[in-house]
Amino acid sequence: MNWNGLFSRIRFRLSAWVRPRMVYGFQRGDGVFLKRTRVSNMTRIEHIDKLMVEDNVYIGHFNLVDASGGLYIGEGCQVTNYVSVLTHSSHVAIRLYGREYLTRDNHVGYLKKTTRLGAYSFIGPHSVLMPGVELGKGSIVSAYSFVPAGEYPDFAILAGNPARVVGDTRDGDAEWLAQSPELHRLYEAWAND
């Protein structure tokens, strides 16, 4: 029996009785325990068995993380608060079938696609990432953005509804690295992967 994983799940569930808080340590669906990953006890994770998350990830309060279609969250990602990361959508199928939706299978218009968040990306509050988003590493999704399905480059800054690439995070990072040159080695360790 994996005692770390069992303790983590029990602690996660019990923490809901107290208040919103971050729970340190997360057990992935494949059984790997990630000691530096933090997930809010107030975030809903659907289909944890289809979620592949790396370590050192932060998933804040009041998010919906839907992994039903397959979800990858890279190392060091930060998902702030009130974010929806989606891998399926039934809104078209429900309109098409109306009252018969729940009595039918294999719906026309039902979308299910894998979503991927690249390493060290940041998802701002109140954002929605639709099924099929492939976000490159080091990217930022600005608050209140609606990100449609598609592939977005590494280091992209996305903003708007619908979100578009409006900048490159390396421009801002260059200023910080100029002020702290000792960080170049650490930055390049993941940025040049």
Helix/strand/coil for 88? strand
pTM check: above 0.95 = no
Q: Is the pLDDT of residue 35 over 90?
A: yes
**CB within 8 A of 125, min separation 6: which ones?**
80, 81, 82, 83, 143, 144
pLDDT in tens, 135-158: 999 999 999 999 999 999 999 999
**For residue 42, what are the CA distances in angstroms to 10, 64, 73?**
14, 9, 18
pLDDT in tens, 113-139: 999 999 999 999 999 999 999 999 999
| Number of residues that this document lists for the chain | 193
Mean pLDDT of the chain: 94
pLDDT at 9: 75
Q: Is the pLDDT of residue 17 over 80?
A: no
DSSP lists the bridge partners of residue 165 as 158
